[in-house]
Structure 1
Amino acid sequence: MSRISVRGFAVASATAVTTVGAAVGVASGEDSSANDLEVVAADASLLVDIPAAGDAQLHTASLSLQAESQDHAAESLTRQSAEETARKAAAEKASAKKEAAEKAAAEEQAAKEKAEREAKEKAEREAQEVAASRSTARSDISPPVQASYTKAEVQAMAQQIVGGGQYQCFSSIVTRESEWNHTATNPSSGAYGLMQALPGTKMASAGADWRTNPATQIKWGLNYMNERYGSPCGAWEFWQANHWY
């Protein structure tokens, strides 16, 4: 409701009434102007409450818009909060996944290195065991000493001492160094025996009879190849590349 003044209407009406009253008074010979003015004066001060329907509708519409705006704002905040929570959860999940992958890769690499290390250590132990067993077998083999030896006899000694797996490589070197002559001497350098040891006295570590006993020379040559090249085949591989060993 709005209070709307009708003072202007009252004044206008009073003016009109006064005019009419004066005219009537003149005609009737009565003085009614005083009473009429009092009525007009009283009526001119009235304020009439007239409902303003348009204002009420605007007010209601404004309240509705405010409520809708607040709802939208609340929905926006809720959506932003949910998106932020989802983003954080996704980031944490990705970080955890990355850490797990890195940990798995590190563990796999460590396991691989451990396996390689263990395999290498095992191979070294086996090689040492094989070398030790060969050394024991060689020390047990002592062919009878003879005044002279044929090439075939010396080769048979070598097969027995060296063993079948490395004999061919051993034989290839001896063939090229001395042609299986256990007394062969190089006139220029003084290298001596099957292996052409330089000096020949180095073979004394395998036996005092190194000058005359092919078996002693073979044992020395096998030890030399094993210690320096790992095996007679290792020595033969080096010989082929360099023509000495």
Structure 2
Amino acid sequence: MLEGNRVSRISVRGFAVASATAVTAVGSVVGVASGSVAQNNDAEAAATDATLLADIPAGQQAQVQTASLTQQADAQAIAADASAKKDAEAAARKAAAETAIAKKDAAEKAAKAAKEREEAAKAASRSQSASAGSASFPVQSSYTVAQIQAMARQVVASSQYQCFSNIVDHESSWNYRAVNASSGAYGLFQALPGSKMSSAGADWQTNPATQIKWGLNYMDSRYGSPCDAWAFWQANHWY
């Protein structure tokens, strides 16, 4: 009887050891997965387990070892799952960052392309205006508003003419001899001083065609186009 009781006690003790060993294994594996160190505890537990296992009958030892190995395998599976989840989350973050960078680059390229198209359109408009501005008009002793406007229509791009006309309306009412009594500004565009229009021709004082060439070049070079110049004029009442 006493021996039977001893075996039962040892068996129970052995399974308890197996459970403790399994718990130790779980803690060790999970601890390693999370970056913690438990080497000292593992060594002590292993030594204790080896001592206790020696007291258990051979038949019981196999059961204890099997239980311990099963628990260790489960712990390793849990650690592997945790590691895989961590790797998947890191990969997802990396993919999201790469996608965001790609979208940003695409947006910047689209904006750059749009700006280049806009600049090309303005350059084409200036080229068209310059080509038309090289046309010659017969010199007269005087010109009517209708004649001056007809000259402007031949020089200014149709898409820009209304803006061009708006500026001339406000500056001189299409009077190519208009003079500002206080400042001395002169001509269709109230150039100050008026002599700066000589860059378009020596007859700037008497020839509206020369003034139109100068005015269009001024708007294109300073603002980009007559409509851009008109937008500035509306905001500031000068250009």
> Distance in 2 between the 1:178 and 1:224 partners?
16
Q: Which residue of 2 aligns with 1:210?
A: 204
> Distance in 2 between the 1:211 and 1:144 partners?
15
Answering whether residue 53 of structure 2 is matched by residue 106 of structure 1, we say no
Aligned pair partner of 1:232 in 219, 223, 226 = 226
Q: Which residue of 2 aligns with 1:122?
A: 117
Deviation (angstroms), 1:63: 4.5
Structure 2 residues without counterparts, runs of 5 or longer: 19-63
On the 8 A contact 2:155/2:213 being kept in 1, the answer is yes
Deviation (angstroms), 1:149: 0.8
Answering whether residue 59 of structure 2 is matched by residue 65 of structure 1, we say no
Deviation (angstroms), 1:153: 0.8
> Distance in 2 between the 1:125 and 1:168 partners?
21
> Distance in 1 between the 2:103 and 2:163 partners?
41
Deviation (angstroms), 1:115: 2.1
Q: How large is the RMSD of aligned CA atoms in angstroms?
A: 1.8
Q: Which residue of 1 aligns with 2:21?
A: none
Q: Which residue of 2 aligns with 1:92?
A: 87
Deviation (angstroms), 1:67: 4.8
Identical positions, percent: 50
Aligned pair partner of 2:217 in 217, 220, 223 = 223
Deviation digits for residues 36-87 of structure 1 (CA, Å, limit 9, x no counterpart) = xxxxxxxxxxxxxxxxxx1232233235325534344433322222111111
Q: Which residue of 1 aligns with 2:76?
A: 81
User: Looking at CA atoms only, which structure, 1 or 2, has the larger radius of gyration?
Assistant: 1
Higher relative contact order (CA 8 A, sep 6+): 2
TM-score, normalised with respect to structure 1: 0.72
Structure 1 residues without counterparts, runs of 5 or longer: 1-53
5 Å-filtered alignment, 1:43-192, equals 54-69=1-16, 70=18, 71=64, 72-139=67-134, 141-192=135-186
Quickly say closer, same or farther: Cα 1:135–1:108, change in 2 above 3 A: same
Deviation (angstroms), 1:150: 0.9
State the AA in 1 paired with 2:221: E
State the AA in 2 paired with 1:93: A
> Distance in 1 between the 2:162 and 2:117 partners?
27
Q: Which residue of 1 aligns with 2:48?
A: none
Q: Which residue of 2 aligns with 1:201?
A: 195
State the AA in 2 paired with 1:74: L
Q: Which residue of 1 aligns with 2:52?
A: none
> Distance in 1 between the 2:213 and 2:183 partners?
22
Q: Which one is further off, 59-68 or 122-131?
A: 59-68
SS at 1:143 equivalent: coil
> Distance in 1 between the 2:98 and 2:235 partners?
47
State the AA in 2 paired with 1:85: A
Quickly say closer, same or farther: Cα 1:171–1:126, change in 2 above 3 A: closer
Deviation (angstroms), 1:187: 2.0
Q: Which one is further off, 181-190 or 83-92?
A: 181-190
Runs of 4+ in 1 over 4 A off after TM superposition: none
SS at 1:195 equivalent: coil
> Distance in 2 between the 1:133 and 1:177 partners?
24
> Distance in 1 between the 2:183 and 2:70 partners?
102
> Distance in 1 between the 2:92 and 2:234 partners?
56
State the AA in 2 paired with 1:55: L
> Distance in 1 between the 2:159 and 2:235 partners?
21
Quickly say closer, same or farther: Cα 1:154–1:210, change in 2 above 3 A: same
